[in-house]
Amino acid sequence: MHINQESATGEASQHGLFLAVTAADFHKFVGLLNTGFMLNIRVGESVQTLLCDRIGLDKSYFDERIQTLFLNSKPVDDPATAAVKNNAILALSAAMPGLVGATFRKGGTYRWMRGSISHPDDSDTAAGKVGWITVKLFNLILKELGPFFLEGGIWLRSETIQAFFKERSGSLGDAIQYVSWNGGEIVPGGILEIEWPDEPIYIKIIHQN
Amino acid sequence: MDKILRVKMGADGGPQIVVEPLGDYAGMGGRAMTSAVVAKEVPPLCHPLGADNKLVIAPGMLSGSAAAMSGRISVGCKSPLTGGIKEANSGGQPSQMLARLGCAAIVIEGRPADDTLYKMVVNKDGAKIEADNSLKMLGNYDLVEKMKAAYGDKVACISIGPAGEMKMSAASIAFTDMEQRPTRHAGRGGVGAVMGSKGLKVIVVDDEGTARREPADPDKFKAANKAFVAGLKKHPVTGEGLPAYGTNVLTNVINEAGGYPTNNFSTGQFAGASKISGEAQAELENTRGGEGSATHGCHRGCVIRCSGTFYGKNGNFLTKQPEYETVWAHGGNCGIDDLDAIAELDRMDDDFGLDTIEMGATIGVAMEGGVAKFGDAEAAINLLKEVGQGTPLGRILGNGASVTGQVFGVERVPVVKRQAMPAYDPRSVQGIGVTYATTTMGADHTAGYSVTANVLGVGGNVDGTKPEGQVELSRNLQIATAAIDATGMCLFIAFAILDQAETFQALLDVLSGFTGQPCTADDVTDLGKSILKQEREFNAAAGFTSKDDRLPAFFKTEPIAPHDVTFGVSDEELDSVFNF
């Protein structure tokens, strides 16, 4: 799968970080996504269109594995009609334990126990424009889709990247094989020396055997 | 299980143990047993810490057998926290062991003549009780080490810490786990205080020389158990999510939904949630490593294994993997985003013998009352130390959120029937508010946890779009949960049962194969209804009215961010929950 972000180039940061890491250590970088990451969207498209048609998630995986979705903190029952807006926050999770976990499941028996907080079916008048969305991946979805998004390329807040490498510099060891910052190669330890701009950074990580 | 051990603490000449046949209690287990004994034998208006109250400890109906997930044990009494009937249950080893010893219940009654402390030993040769004042004010960890030295490394312990001895309303009863650590607790409602009031520090259970309980229909039982286990393993929650992340997998999702009570229920999202989430916890535990770090069972026979082991920064065992409700109570509810500090608080709760939910909620109320600042982990640890030491402030805190709110003049006190509310805000998830308000137990997230009408067929399919839908769902959930609590099954089986009809049928077949009697969904719901009716009648006789089935007023008047909603279920709807 490949994340199609061609529409992003016009508004995206020009700052880019590219890493090649060892396959055995690739999972260690999924922690970069713990607090969410950004992608470009076409405003007004549905959650399902965004994730399946444009980003390329397998439809059966989307239907069966992603059982809990929140759009701007509102549980989504029908991803085919829930429209994404500029600066929206989309959270994706597998089925969750507990009554409350079951309550948030898309279209679940217990959804009525939420009361009034469900996401409404809607459409957006600004449909078609390019915008941003923050995506959060939880539990099994983080483990399973995290590598996919890292390989496809995403945007992260610079302080998120900075904090990640500062906190984990000791545990990453020799995992990083190659680093490029703004198109120029730097040594792996040089990540800690980067003067990070105060804007989203495009980051892409691939693994090598 | 063919006998009840009656421990008469006030007998002439000192405590005596009488072995009785089951009589009217034949066939009962778990919550069915504890609530039946309390309802029949405890005067509803008695003082919970007085001689007339009884403490009932009962393995589940299937405990001691080969049935998967059947190691839960129930503790019942009149609660010193709520003033009503109480059932608190726990994992750990004692349930399976007591059941194999043929013990359907231990009923502790009366009160000793003085403040002598006692220990009791149950084994295949019988049961005995003797004075042992050397155990006074020992924490659960030191106590268990002492019992281990005296009785060997195969026994299990049921014990109280200093909080129970001080008869605090937040006191729990500890049950040792597979590693002989006191990490599993019947936490809610102050059951530890009742054990303390009886002067009983510990029950040592030794099942050496006993055999597994055999089913009446071995072939049916074996096949059903196999199908039941297969159903649990194939379900994404019980087979993957819970083993990988534990119950704390809920933190991120509940927070994202705006239903994560933060800083004493003042808002619905916590900025530090991702730092204390199940994902972060599992990563930390896996990085530190160690036996059973991120995936571990709480008792033998558990196939879900949602627990784990938390090793401290120095690599040594600190506590079991804190559960979601504990991480919330000592974490987000107090503005604390440090997993090591939360684990330290969990360890202290287990050692002092305290309910983690009640203590986290209490510290949150105390923080709101100005005793400490939200987010100050060191202050929270120091407050909990005061509880263990029994200082005047510690005595206040150890009696729970309601007392603490009263002492410090706090209006926002999240309790129902004086029991602290767990980790789900009822304004964001209104349906759980119905259960919090109406359950016989006081605010309790597990009271309405299990399978619903549309699976069990209670009263037909629920139409949740109607105003009465949430009430009807809560009613049916409470009925089903009461029944599951009687079996000794872990409530987490509910997730697989919820989604997989064949797994629910397998559970019915396990019950039927074990007892040799037919078992239908109607039988299960009838059992649940009868338990709830008994409990409601006890509470009514103890003075509870419909006015006790309410959430605190602030839930109706203070909108919670980010959804800006208040609790909207009417009193009339709440009063209809028990119309069955």
Give the range of the structural domain holding residue A98, as residue numbers without chain letter.
Answer: 10-208
**Chain centroid to CA B61: how far?**
17
Contacts of B452 in chain A (CB under 8 A): 109-110
Which tokens hold the place of B130?
Answer: 């003797």
Using CB atoms, pick whichever of B257, B280, B492 lies closest to residue A97: B492
Q: What is the pLDDT of residues A94-112, one digit of tens each?
A: 988 877 777 888 877 777 7
- Per the DSSP assignment, residues forming a β-bridge with B73 are B59, B90
Interface pTM (ipTM) of the complex? 0.86
Using CB atoms, pick whichever of B236, B254, B470 lies closest to residue A100: B254
In this prediction, residue A7 carries a pLDDT of 38
pLDDT surpasses 90 at B293: no
Query: How buried is residue A126: exposed, middle or buried, by Cβ count under 10 Å (0-12/13-18/19+)?
Result: exposed
Distance CA B359, CA B398 (A): 7
Q: Which residue has the tokens 């405990």?
A: B63
Contacts of A73 in chain B (CB under 8 A): 256-258, 269, 562-563
Secondary-structure class of domain B3-205 per CATH: alpha beta
In this prediction, residue B477 carries a pLDDT of 80
List Cβ neighbours of B50 (8 Å cut-off, separation of 6 or more): B111, B197
- Assign B450 a pLDDT band (cuts: 50, 70, 90): very low
Interchain proximity A140–B259, CB inside 8 Å: no
In this prediction, residue B449 carries a pLDDT of 59
Domains of chain B, by residue range, sit at 3-205, 217-245+426-580, 260-424
Q: What is the pLDDT of residues B509-545, one digit of tens each?
A: 999 999 999 998 888 889 999 999 999 999 999 999 9
In this prediction, residue A93 carries a pLDDT of 95
pLDDT surpasses 80 at B467: no
pLDDT surpasses 70 at A9: no
Quick check: is A149 in a domain? yes
Phi first, then psi, for residue A160 (nearest 5°) are: -65, -45
Q: In a mutagenesis test of the A interface, which of B234, B242, B249, B253 is the best target, namely the one with the most A β-carbons within 10 Å?
A: B253
Phi first, then psi, for residue B318 (nearest 5°) are: -110, -55
Residue A42, Ramachandran bin (φ over 0: left; ψ between -120 and 50: alpha; else beta): beta
Q: What is the pLDDT of residues B224-281, one digit of tens each?
A: 999 999 999 998 888 988 898 999 999 999 999 999 999 999 999 999 999 999 999 9
Distance CA B207, CA B125 (A): 10
Total domains present in chain A: 1
Task: Give the closest-approach CA distance of B250 to chain A in angstroms.
Answer: 7
Q: Which of A100-114, A186-200, B465-479 has the highest mean pLDDT?
A: A186-200
- Characterize the bridge pairing of strands B3-8 and B103-109: parallel
Interchain proximity A112–B477, CB inside 8 Å: no
Distance CA A190, CA A187 (A): 5
Which tokens hold the place of B314?
Answer: 């120095």
Q: Is the pTM of this model over 0.80?
A: yes
Using CB atoms, pick whichever of B242, B278, B448 lies closest to residue A99: B448
Which tokens hold the place of B103?
Answer: 């013990």
Contacts of B477 in chain A (CB under 8 A): 99
Q: What is the pLDDT of residues A12-71, one digit of tens each?
A: 456 899 999 999 999 999 999 999 999 999 999 999 999 999 999 999 999 999 999 999
- Assign B181 a pLDDT band (cuts: 50, 70, 90): very high
Q: Which of B264-268, B303-307, B501-505 has the highest mean pLDDT?
A: B264-268
Which tokens hold the place of B463?
Answer: 């139409």
Quick check: is A82 in a domain? yes
Query: Does the CB of A170 have a partner CB in chain B at under 8 Å?
Result: no
pLDDT surpasses 50 at A11: no
Please check whether the domain covering B217-245+426-580 is classified as CATH 3.60.15.10.
Answer: no
Distance CA B392, CA A113 (A): 42
Distance CA B65, CA B300 (A): 11
In one letter, which amino acid is B564?
A: D
Secondary-structure class of domain B260-424 per CATH: mainly alpha
In one letter, which amino acid is B338?
A: D
Of A10-19, B205-214, B492-501, the one with minimum mean pLDDT is: A10-19
Contacts of B253 in chain A (CB under 8 A): 68, 70, 91, 93, 96, 101, 104, 138-139
Of A90-94, B33-37, B201-205, B498-502, the one with minimum mean pLDDT is: B498-502
User: What's the mean pLDDT when you consider all of chain B?
Assistant: 93
A196 half-sphere exposure, CB direction, 13 A CA radius:
21
Which of the two residues, B3 and B504, has the higher pLDDT score? B3
Q: What is the pLDDT of residues B55-110, one digit of tens each?
A: 999 999 999 999 999 999 999 999 999 999 999 999 999 999 999 999 999 999 99
Interchain proximity B470–A101, CB inside 8 Å: no
- Per the DSSP assignment, residues forming a β-bridge with B332 are none
- Please state, in angstroms and as integers, the Cα–Cα distance from residue B180 to each residue in B92, B148, B153, B183, following that order: 9, 8, 7, 9
Query: Does the CB of A112 have a partner CB in chain B at under 8 Å?
Result: yes
Task: Give the closest-approach CA distance of B195 to chain A in angstroms.
Answer: 30
Quick check: is A3 in a domain? no
In this prediction, residue A99 carries a pLDDT of 75
- Assign A125 a pLDDT band (cuts: 50, 70, 90): low
- Assign B481 a pLDDT band (cuts: 50, 70, 90): confident
Query: How buried is residue B113: exposed, middle or buried, by Cβ count under 10 Å (0-12/13-18/19+)?
Result: middle
Q: Which of residues 36-95 of A touch B (CB under 8 A)?
A: 65, 67-68, 70, 73-75, 91, 93-95
- H helices of B239-369, where? 242-245, 250-256, 278-288, 324-330, 339-352, 356-368
pLDDT surpasses 90 at A204: yes
pLDDT surpasses 70 at B457: no
User: What's the mean pLDDT when you consider all of chain A?
Assistant: 86
Which of the two residues, B235 and B369, has the higher pLDDT score? B369
Which of the two residues, A126 and B110, has the higher pLDDT score? B110
- Assign A122 a pLDDT band (cuts: 50, 70, 90): low
pLDDT surpasses 70 at B460: no
Task: Give the closest-approach CA distance of A29 to chain B in angstroms.
Answer: 12
List Cβ neighbours of B517 (8 Å cut-off, separation of 6 or more): B216
